[in-house]
Structure 1
């Protein structure tokens, strides 16, 4: 493990370490002294503020935060399973906004989990960290164990194929409590063929769906993240739509007839037909720049 010291003029401090699946870097945020961005092999994975875990920098994580806010009355605990650990950004948010929430975080890379635990510790005795493959660990969850399952898994910059199938969605369904919600971070662009297939796939398992996306991503004008939601019961779409519309990075919630039109030619993805998500444009998930967030979108303005 090596530390690259910061240089005068507000340059970032960089901590580098070889982990099980590549080179991890923790890059300090010159605008927020307690904040760090985690990258693996140059792909941004997470941004955390150790002093303020309610600060969510990435656009898609802010939308997942709105989902968490909408699922239960303020402060009420939720049982959450996070498939894809990174730097545990959303788990920290849940712990801060819903104290007493039992949470499971699944991370494939044990060395990466150790790096995060050492350098970016989270003081939450209710956080159960499990090292293993997301699909295998989903199967290991007790039936009905989670109110919310968040799938945010990338191998490099692509979602692994085995986490995109109807068989996997069925495993998640088993782990969810009655009325529980599946939330998936997807990445796609152009005609959104991958996302169309994912919506059709969860529709084969869950009766209610919604997709949260920025307008330019939804209409194919740029590559970006979309959050797919699914449940057997009504989703809190009106509350979620208000929060997303009022966010500094506004987005809309697509559902109902619009989603049915969106997926009318899409096939359900099975283990036999599954493929990873599309390759993003060069630099899309890369190192944060002075005026650009790790997703390739504008950074949050500095907060008082």
Structure 2
């Protein structure tokens, strides 16, 4: 159902009891209020599979991009009491989500109505166990989030053993992905990727989850990829580093190399 006359924000219910949230025609999130552990989007499952490997207990997580708060709900569900900050500039979207899809009682999710770049500057150094970047404007990643300055800022916000997760959407030739990897390599020593097998085989435009951490556990990540609900490819640190070396880092946010989406894609449900 639309939330306003222009249908800028839409909530589409399905027979499963979940809701897909769209902004300006682009799917942003899928939420089942009764089952926060249900993650419909492939890349969100990839996010969760990495967060699940972090030490037990509450996690301090900063989310750049919030939409319907699917991942913050998951973290609250799996690690109750986790202090979470969400940087989401679309205050109208946040209000509509709160009304349609209420957050659970006792949560510690705080949404700040600011863009990712501005919000990152306001965070304390070494304040987050994880920084998750999942931000799009009209289907494209904002240019100021993929620069050397932005990735270095993320590295400072993270605790020494923290992890950066970045949802990167690209065409099959991976030119933009490789440039983001080259940029991230200026701030992080170790990186890997998770994606679907068909995206890895260059069959379609799709999402890659960048994982950057000084404590990357390749064996555990490989096992999680093999156990995924859908065919998943794990690109290990060596190959990821080779891709990074083949491209030029992004210094200027106005360069704006992010490709527009070719299709809204097909959602997969577990």
- Distance in 2 between residues matched to 1:147 and 1:275, nearest whole Å: 29
- Aligned 8 A contact 2:76 2:107 in 1: no
Partner of 1:220: 202
Q: How many pairs align?
A: 269
- Distance in 2 between residues matched to 1:114 and 1:100, nearest whole Å: 22
- Distance in 2 between residues matched to 1:235 and 1:247, nearest whole Å: 19
Partner of 1:191: 173
Q: 1:131 to 1:51 in 2, by over 3 A?
A: same
Partner of 1:5: none
- Distance in 1 between residues matched to 2:143 and 2:230, nearest whole Å: 29
Partner of 2:128: 146
2:229 to 228, 235, 248: 248
TM-score (norm 1): 0.84
- Distance in 2 between residues matched to 1:153 and 1:190, nearest whole Å: 20
Does residue 81 in structure 1 map to residue 81 in structure 2?
Answer: no
Deviates more, 1:221-230 or 1:124-133: 124-133
Structure 1: stretches of 5+ with no match in the other structure: 1-13, 286-294
Does residue 48 in structure 1 map to residue 48 in structure 2?
Answer: no
Partner of 1:103: 84
Partner of 1:280: 261
Quote how far apart the aligned CAs of 1:18 are. 6.0
Quote how far apart the aligned CAs of 1:274 are. 3.5
Partner of 2:248: 267
Larger radius of gyration: 1
SS in 2 for 1:111: helix
Quote how far apart the aligned CAs of 1:300 are. 1.6
- Aligned 8 A contact 1:190 1:223 in 2: yes
Does residue 36 in structure 1 map to residue 34 in structure 2?
Answer: no
Quote how far apart the aligned CAs of 1:272 are. 5.5
- Aligned 8 A contact 1:84 1:106 in 2: yes
SS in 2 for 1:90: helix
Partner of 1:70: 53
Cα deviations across residues 203-259 of structure 1 (Å, max 9, x unaligned)?
A: 11111101111222123221111100112x121222222122211212122123212
- Aligned 8 A contact 1:159 1:276 in 2: no
TM-score (norm 2): 0.95
Find runs of 4+ consecutive structure 1 residues off by over 3 angstroms: none
SS in 2 for 1:16: coil
Partner of 1:23: 8
- Distance in 2 between residues matched to 1:164 and 1:272, nearest whole Å: 7
- Aligned 8 A contact 1:167 1:271 in 2: no
- Distance in 1 between residues matched to 2:259 and 2:229, nearest whole Å: 27
Does residue 230 in structure 1 map to residue 212 in structure 2?
Answer: yes
Q: 1:272 to 1:38 in 2, by over 3 A?
A: closer
- Aligned 8 A contact 2:3 2:96 in 1: no
Kindly report the root-mean-square deviation, in angstroms, between the aligned alpha carbons of the 2 structures.
1.6
Quote how far apart the aligned CAs of 1:265 are. 2.1
Partner of 2:190: 208
SS in 2 for 1:101: coil
- Distance in 2 between residues matched to 1:17 and 1:71, nearest whole Å: 40
Partner of 2:144: 162
Structure 2: stretches of 5+ with no match in the other structure: none
